[in-house]
Amino acid sequence: MKKNEPGLYVFCLFLILSMPFSIVRAQTEKPLPQLGKSPIKDVIAAMTLEEKVKLVVGNGFRMPGTRQQGPTIGQTQDKVPGAAGTTFAIPRLGIPSIVVSDGPAGLRIEPIRNHDSSKTYYATAFPVATLLASTWDTDVVKKVGVAFGSEVHEYGVDILLAPALNIHRNPLGGRNFEYYSEDPLIAGKMTCAIVNGIESNGVGTSIKHFAANNQETDRNTINTIVSERALREIYLKGFEIAVKGSQPWTVMSSYNKINGTYTSEEHDLITTILRDEWGFKGFVMTDWFGGRNPVEQMKSGNDLLMPGTPQLSQRLLDAVNHDSLDVKVLDENIAHILNVILQSPSFKNYKYSDKPDLKKDAEISRGAAEQGMVLLKNDNSALPIKRAVKIAVFGNTSYDIIAGGTGSGDVNKAYTVSLIQGLTNAGFQVDGELKNAYTQYLAAEKIKHPKKSFMQEFMNPTPPIAEMFPEKDLITSEASDADLAVFTLGRNAGEGRDRKLENDYYLSDSEKVVIKNIANAFHAKNKKLIVVLNIGGVIEIASWRDNADAILLAWQPGLEAGNAIADILSGKTDPSGKLATTFPMDYKDVPSAKNFPGKEFPEQATTGNFGFKQTPAEVTYEEGVYVGYRYYNTFNVKPAYEFGYGLSYTNFDYSDLKLSSNSFNKKLTATITIKNTGKVAGKEAVQLYISAPAKTLDKPAEELKGFAKTKLLQPGESQAISFSINADDLASFDTNKESWVAEAGSYKVKVGASSENIKQSASFTLANELTIEKDHKVLVPQTPINEMKSQQRAF
C-alpha cells in the first residue's frame, strides 16, 4: 500500500486540478440536437454539408448477391430485402434510415431470404388498380388499403411506392393496369381511398408518377407537349383531388418532361402547383434515376433523389461549394424529408413482426376482386351458371391465370388460384381430358423459356405462351360431353414498354379461330360459350364478341383470382363492376391514336444510366381535354362498351331525381332513388354527369362529377342516394384568365347507369359567371398545339 501512496496522491491532485475545467466544458458544450426532441431547424443546423448532400440522395441499391451498384429495381439488401430503396441515416442526430418499397397491387419484397425457405415473406397480390376503379366503391378500395398497409407495416417498410394514378390516355399504355381510369375524378377519389386506408396503419405512400406519365415508350426522354387546360383538367386533376383529400406522405415525380422540362426539375410543378396551390405538406422523391440535373431537382423542390448514387451527392456538394446551389435550398428540402421521417415506423422503432395476417388479407383481396369484375355481355341469361354442371374449360390462362402485371407493379405472392381450381372449389365439374391437354401444353412451353431474373425479364421480356390450338375433334367431343364452355383470354404488360396492336390489343388470328371453333361446336349442341377476360388493359372485342354468349371482364384480380371469378360465374356474388375506361370499337377511334407514342429523334440518341440507349422523343396531346368518354360522347363515336358500363344479374330502376334548388348558390344536392327490380340481390354503381353551358369555352358533352355505389339491395329494396354539387364541379379551366370559371347559364344534371345510359336528368341555372380560383400561369407549352375542338364535330 505504502508503495502506491505517491501515485494515489498524484492521481487525486490531477482530479482536483482538472475538475474546474471539466465543469466548465460540461456547461459550454451543448448536447447534439436529436430528431423528435429538438426543433427540426436545430437538427439541420447541426448537420455537416456532407451529411446534407447524402440525406437528399437515397442509399442506392445493389445487384443481388454483389456489393456493386446496379440497376436491378428493388434490391436493397439491408433491412428489407427486395425493397426499392432506403434513405441515409445520421445516427448522431437521431435520424434513422427509412425503407421505401413498391408497388401498386401489393408489397413487392423478396419472399425468400438467404436461400432459407423455412421462413417466407410473401405479400398479398390485391386486384390491379383498373379493377379497383371498376368497383366504383371507395369503401371497398379503402378496405384494401387498410389490409395492404398492414403488410407494409409488418414487413418493416416505411413508405409504399404507390398508388399510381396516371390517366389511361391510350389503351396501349404499358402500365395502364397500375392506373385507375381515363377519368381524373375516379383516379383522384380511388387514390384518396387507398391512401387513407394504407396510411391508417402509420406508414406512408408515394402517389405517382407526377405527372402526365401516360406512356412507357421513351419514358426517360419523352417530352409531353400539352396545353395548360388539358393538364389542369385531366392530368393534374386526379393528383389535386388526392393531395387535398388524403395529404399523402410523399409524391413521386415522373420520368417524362412536360413542355420541355423534366417534371423533377420543374419548380412550377413541384413547388408552385403542388405545394403553393394545393397545400402539399410531405416530400417529393424522383422516380428511380429520373431527371438529369440534381441541382435543378433540388431547386425545384424535388426533395429526395432515388434510388441515389454517390455521384449525385458529389454533384450537389460541388454545386454548393461553387455557389451554384444555396445550402438553404438543401435545408428546406431536408426539412420536408425529416417531417416525414418523424412519423415513420423506423423512427418510432416499431418492432415489426414479419407476419402480416395473409389469410385475412387474401379474403379482402377476393372480396374486392368480385366487386370490380365487369359483366360485359350476358345474352339470354347465359350467366350465372347453374350448380353442378360439367364445364369444358379452354384457354391457357384458365390454367395459368394472371394475378397482376409485371415490372415494379408485380407482387411476390405465395400462390395464385387458377380458374380451374376456383371452379372446382365452387363445386363445378371440370373436364379432365381438356385439363390434361392444357396442363401438358403449358408445361412443355414453359420449359422452352426458363425463368429469368427480374432484370433480365425487364430488359428482354419472355413472350407470352401462344394460345393452345385445340384440334376440332377435341372441341367437338367436349361439346358433346360438357354442359358449357368457358374460354379465358389473357394479356399481360408492365413498365418499360407499351403494348402492341398486333397479337395484343387485337386478338391473334389463331385466338379468334379458337373462339370461333368453340362457339360453333357448342352452339351446334345448343350449349353456351362464356368468355372470361383476364387482362390488365383494354383490348378489341367488337369483332369477335358475337361468338360469346357471355363475356366477363375479370381484369387481373389478384391472388384469389379463380375463386373470385367462380363466385361471379356461379352467381354467388352479383357482378356490380362497371368500366372506368372505355372499350372502343376499334383502335383508330381512340382520340390519341395518331399521337401515340409520339416521334423519336434517333440522330440525337445518347447512352444513359447502365448503358441504356436514350432517344429523345416528343408527343403532343392534340386531343386536349377530349380523353376517353369526353371524346366519344362529344364527337358521337360509338364505343364497343362505354365508360360506366356494366351488367348485373338483376335490374335497377332509377326514379325521383330531385335537385335541392333549380338555381345554383354555392352548393346543390341531387337525390335519386335506386330500386332493385330484379330477382337477385345486387349493387348498382350510380353516376352523376354534368353538361355545362359552352358559350365561351369549348366543353365535353358531359363530365363525371359524382359517383356512388348502393349497398347490397335485396329484390324490391330501394335506396336513396345523394350527391353534392359544389361550385368547382361547374368550372372549367379558362387559360386566358388562368382561372377555373363556371359560365352563367343552364346546367344539366344527368344521373345514370353509364355515360350513355342516362336514366334521369334535371336542370339548374347559374345566374352569374363564377370565378372559382385563380391559378399561376405555369407549364405553358412553347409550341402551338393544334388542339381538338368540339366545333370540329364532323362525325
Task: Please pick, from the candidates 239, 288, 487, 707, the single residue that binds ligand BGC as defined by CB under 6 A.
Answer: 288
Binding track, positions 365-394, relative to ligand BGC; x by CB under 6 A: ------------------------------
CB of 53 to ligand BGC, least distance (A): 22
Q: Which is nearer to ligand BGC, 161 or 417 (CB)?
A: 161
Report, in Å, the least distance between residue 791 CB and ligand BGC: 38
Is 287 known to be catalytic?
yes
Binding to ligand BGC by CB under 6 A, coded x per residue (else -) over 267-286, reads --------------------
Phi, psi angles (nearest 5°) of residue 318: -60, -40
The 22-61 site mask, x for binding ligand BGC (CB under 6 A), equals ----------------------------------------
Which DSSP symbol is given to 178?
Answer: G
Angle between helices 472-481 and 509-524 (to 10 degrees): 40
Q: Which residues contact 436 (CB under 8 A, 6 or more apart)?
A: none
33, 58, 74, 584: which one binds ligand BGC (CB under 6 A)? 74
Residue ranges in 614-653 that form contacts with ligand BGC under rule CB under 6 A: none
Residue 755's nearest CA partner among 667, 685, 654 is 685
Based on C-alpha coordinates, what's the Rg of the chain? 29
To the nearest whole angstrom, how small is the minimum distance from the Cβ of residue 83 to ligand BGC? 9
In what order do the strands lie in the sheet containing 374-378?
374-378, 550-553, 528-534, 484-490, 390-394, 429-430
Is 87 a binding residue for ligand BGC by CB under 6 A? The answer is no
Closer to ligand BGC at the Cβ: 210 or 635? 210
Q: How far apart are CA 289 and CA 291, in angstroms?
A: 7
Contact set for ligand BGC, span 482-501 (CB under 6 A): 495
Cell of 524: 351446334
- Supply the minimum distance, in Å, between the C-beta of residue 124 and ligand BGC: 18
For ligand BGC, the binding residue among 40, 140, 161, 535 (CB under 6 A) is: 161
| Contact residue for ligand BGC among 55, 102, 191, 706 (CB under 6 A) | 102
Per-residue exposure over 321-346, b if at least 16 CB sit within 10 Å of its own CB, e if not: eeeebebebbeebbebbbebbebbbb
Tell me if 113 sits within 8 A of 163, measured CB to CB.
no
Please report how close the Cβ of residue 676 comes to ligand BGC at its closest, in angstroms: 41
Closest by Cα among 52, 612, 47, 46 to 314: 52
Contact indicator for 123, 82 with CB cutoff of 8 Å: no
Among 43, 55, 84, 514, binds ligand BGC (CB under 6 A): 84
Helix, strand, or coil (residue 735):
coil
Enclosing H/E stretch for 752:
strand 745-752
Q: Which is nearer to ligand BGC, 174 or 470 (CB)?
A: 174
Asked if residue 249 binds ligand BGC (CB under 6 A), the reply is: no
The residue (of 76 and 313) whose beta carbon lies closer to ligand BGC is 76
Residue 408 or 488 with smaller CB distance to ligand BGC: 408
Report in angstroms how near the CB of residue 74 gets to ligand BGC at its nearest.
5
Q: How far is the CB of 453 from ligand BGC (least distance, A)?
A: 15
Task: Based on the shown chain and the rule CB under 6 A, indicate whether residue 250 belongs to the binding site for ligand BGC.
Answer: no
Report the Cα–Cα distance between both ends of the chain, in Å, rounded: 112
Which is closer to ligand BGC, CB of 210 or CB of 740?
210
**Per-position DSSP letters for 377-442, written without gaps between them:** EEGGG--SPPTT-EEEEESHHHHS---S-BGGG----S----HHHHHHHTT-EE-HHHHHHHHHHH
Among 35, 44, 47, 73, binds ligand BGC (CB under 6 A): 73
Nearest residue (CB) to ligand BGC, 102 versus 549? 102
Is 447 exposed, middle or buried (CB count within 10 Å of its CB: 0-12, 13-18, 19+)? exposed
Smallest separation, CB 101 to ligand BGC (Å): 8
123 binds ligand BGC (CB under 6 A): no
400-419: contacts with ligand BGC (CB under 6 A): 408
**Closest CB to ligand BGC among residues 287, 504:** 287
Q: How many helices (H) and strands (E) does the chain have?
A: 21, 31
Neighbours of 27 (CB within 10 A): 8
Annotate each residue in 728-747 with x if it binds ligand BGC (CB under 6 A) or - if it does not, as one string: --------------------
Total of chain residues touching ligand BGC, rule CB under 6 A: 10
Nearer to ligand BGC, 97 or 408 (CB): 408
Q: Which amino acid is at 347?
A: F
Catalytic residue among 137, 268, 287, 303: 287
Q: Is 80 in the site for ligand BGC (CB under 6 A)?
A: no
CA distance 428 to 388: 5
Least separation in angstroms between CB 161 and ligand BGC: 4
Cβ atoms of 356 and 150 within 8 Å: the answer is yes
Q: Smallest Cα–Cα separation from 568: which of 399, 417, 402, 371? A: 371
**Binding of ligand BGC by 208 (CB under 6 A):** yes
Could you say whether residue 287 binds ligand BGC (CB under 6 A)?
yes
- 180 vs 645, beta carbon nearer ligand BGC: 180
Of 76 and 138, CB closest to ligand BGC:
76
Q: Which of 138, 165, 154, 363 is nearest to 248 (CA)?
A: 165
Q: Which of the residues 703 through 722 are near ligand BGC (CB under 6 A)?
A: none
Where do the H-state alpha helices sit in 526-665? 561-570, 629-634
How many angstroms separate the CA atoms of 127 and 410, rounded?
11
For the CB of residue 112, give the shortest distance to ligand BGC in the complex, in Å.
19
DSSP letter for 88, please: -
**Nearest-approach distance from CB 157 to ligand BGC, in angstroms:** 12
Residues lying near ligand BGC in the complex (CB under 6 A) are found at 73-74, 84, 102, 161, 208, 287-288, 408, 495
Active site residues: 287
